[in-house]
Structure 1
Amino acid sequence: MTSTEFAPGLRIAGITPPLRLTDYKLIAFDMDSTLINIECVDEIADAVGRKAEVAAITEAAMQGHISDYKESLRQRVALLKGVTLAQMDQIYQERLRLNPGAAELVAACKAAGLKVLLVSGGFTHFTDRIRDRLGIDFTRANQLEVANGALTGRMVDQAWGDICDGAEKRTMLLHTCAQLGIDPSQAIAMGDGANDLPMMGVAGLSVAYHAKPAVREQAKVSIESGGLDRLLEVMQA
């Protein structure tokens, strides 16, 4: 998709601003490196001295160089065995930060009447806290198995399936639209990695945030500098 620079560090393709925020009814966010500043799986791995190994797999997956996302996540989670819940809480408290403009964008969307969905290839240990912190309406993420206060290196199957990958993100966005009685064209999807492309592809407005090249190329809005709330520059309330 051929893009043009709308403002420094903000590119658009296939749209003519200003768009109306009130024309949309749902905004869906990826979590790691989009709504928040870290890749949680990499930081958890740091607690057992495996960050470099895990981060290399994460980067390859986000670039779209790994075809089987589920298997790549299982490999990474296996390396997390032994990390304690106390260490997980420490990561949340000391390393995890909302990305600039995250709270402002969520607040603006809620004020305009949009529902907010958080879909993550990360983990419920963090998505639940972000949900409560920002007042998010719906979430989907992976659940780490815990025994005796520590991770087992496995994930728990949930009622909807085993792993939240790109296909599941798309399914959850479409399911939430159906639940709300809206068309997917009334949804906004924001992400940074290859596993966000399926949901971005079915949403009315796709937004890349400091994203991998393949994601920037396919997004209708690409935020390449500044915070998440730069989306509001192409919107009017």
Structure 2
Amino acid sequence: MTDTLAALVTQGFTPPLRLSDFRLAAFDMDSTLINIECIDEIAAVAGKKAEVAAITEAAMRGEITDFKDSLRRRLALLKGVPEAALEQVLRERLQFNPGARELCAALKAAGLKLLLVSGGFTYFTRHVATELGMDWVRSNELEIADGRLSGGLVMQAWGEICDGEEKRRMLLACCAEIGADAKTQAIAVGDGANDLPMMGAAALSVAYCAKPKVREQAMVAINAGGLDQVLSVLR
């Protein structure tokens, strides 16, 4: 491994790959494009971070295998939290991870389409997608009643919860829409166990500051520094 790849671990291929061979890149949001797990920070505003974060961590490590169940358990703990907590998290706590803007800009300049697919919430994905120029977004819609979280989600046309299988399905659907082959022309970037299905469906899988199980299965693991280090394995 060269010094320029010192913060990367590559396995399963010999870099560099040709950026021109790819047509789509799919990204997780929480702890991948941004520096926080939004649900944990909402819980922090409500004074329940420890309880919610423990479930989040176990789910991301793959110790809780049913993502939908883990999300429902965490949402139940947030019932009654004021809607204003969402704005507070967005304004005071959400930041983009190093290199996120640079990577997305470079991929778009190279002609790739971008997909944001998240087990998080539309309140935050809308902001992130606008800032980074995403072409598609898939995430969960928090149900709000009388200005407070109900502890549930809104049923959307595609379903209620964006879990690992929905991330994979969305990646494949977007590839099909533009006539691309996911297994040869798609990149998938994530950090948690629920990202593994879409990472497994892509030509290039990237783990960013990820859980051990995800690092082990990814073709590229970025363990320190910025997301734009992905460009080091693409020419």
Q: State the distance in 1 between where 2:234 and 2:83 align.
A: 41
Question: Counterpart in 1 of 2:27?
Answer: 29
Unaligned runs of 5+ residues in structure 2 are none
Superposition pairs for residues 132-147 of structure 1, below 5 Å? 132-147=130-145
Q: TM-score, normalised by structure 2?
A: 0.97
Amino acid at match of 1:36: I
Q: TM-score, normalised by structure 1?
A: 0.96
1:82–1:151 contact (8 Å) kept in structure 2:
yes
The question of 1:48 aligning with 2:46 is answered: yes
1:5–1:12 contact (8 Å) kept in structure 2:
no
Question: Counterpart in 2 of 1:98?
Answer: 96
Question: Counterpart in 1 of 2:58?
Answer: 60
Question: Counterpart in 2 of 1:126?
Answer: 124
How far apart are 1:84 and its partner, in Å? 2.0
- Structure in which a larger fraction of residues adopt strand: 1
Q: 2:156 aligns with which of 149, 155, 158?
A: 158
Question: Counterpart in 1 of 2:7?
Answer: 9
* Secondary structure class of the residue paired with 1:125: helix
Question: Counterpart in 1 of 2:188?
Answer: 189
Superposition pairs for residues 76-87 of structure 1, below 5 Å? 76-87=74-85
Q: State the distance in 2 between where 1:11 and 1:97 align.
A: 25
Question: Counterpart in 2 of 1:111?
Answer: 109
Give the root-mean-square deviation of aligned CA atoms: 1.1
Q: Percent of aligned positions with the same letter in both sequences? A: 64
How far apart are 1:216 and its partner, in Å? 0.6
Moved over 4 A (4+): none
Structure 1 residues 21, 156: CA separation in 2 closer, same or farther (over 3 Å shift)?
same
1:100–1:227 contact (8 Å) kept in structure 2:
yes
How far apart are 1:5 and its partner, in Å? 7.4
Query: How many residue pairs are counted as aligned between the two chains?
Result: 233
Unaligned runs of 5+ residues in structure 1 are none
Q: State the distance in 2 between where 1:42 and 1:138 align.
A: 25
How far apart are 1:100 and its partner, in Å? 0.2
The question of 1:220 aligning with 2:219 is answered: yes
* Secondary structure class of the residue paired with 1:127: helix
Question: Per-residue displacement from partner, 1:108-138 (whole Å, max 9, x unpaired)?
Answer: 0000000000000000000011111111110
Task: Between 82-91 and 194-203, report the one with greater CA deviation.
Answer: 82-91
How far apart are 1:157 and its partner, in Å? 1.0
Q: State the distance in 1 between where 2:159 and 2:178 align.
A: 21
* Secondary structure class of the residue paired with 1:120: strand
* Secondary structure class of the residue paired with 1:152: strand
Q: State the distance in 1 between where 2:8 and 2:47 align.
A: 37
Amino acid at match of 1:180: I
Question: Counterpart in 1 of 2:199?
Answer: 200
How far apart are 1:50 and its partner, in Å? 0.8
